[in-house]
Amino acid sequence: MSTDLVLFLALLFVAIAIGGATAFVIFWPLTLVHVRDRHQALRAQLGEGAFLNPAALWWLLRGGYRATPDRSLSGLATPARVSLAVILLGLALAGLLWLWSLVIA
């Protein structure tokens, strides 16, 4: 594989991560507003400023919202979880391909 192709694929993975970020900034705040309005105990668990709080993001990524029997919460948190996974996977794969391009250059 040529270096140009590897870097193109790395850029493609960055674009996929940007798409995931777009979905994340739509669904994650909606999820947090739902938690704020309907689940006070969960709100206290996630803490204030949960948008970029690592503990809250880990709660989302591991699917902690499934312990709460609220279909609306699951309907908002599932796309946020998928988009967060897409961001992390896209950036990780882009980084690996970038490192690979350095090796084969």
User: Do the Cβ atoms of 35 and 46 come closer than 8 Å?
Assistant: yes
Torsion of CA 50, 54, 55, 57, to 10 degrees: 70
* Number of domains comprising the chain: 1
Domain range for 23: 3-104
Task: Compute, in degrees rounded to 10, the torsion defined by CA atoms 11, 91, 65, 51.
Answer: -90
pTM of the full structure: 0.92
11 token code pair: 């850029």
Digits of tens for pLDDT over the chain (105 positions)? 788 899 899 999 999 999 999 999 999 999 999 999 999 999 999 998 999 999 999 999 999 999 999 999 999 999 999 999 999 999 999 999 999 988 987
CA distance 17 to 22: 9
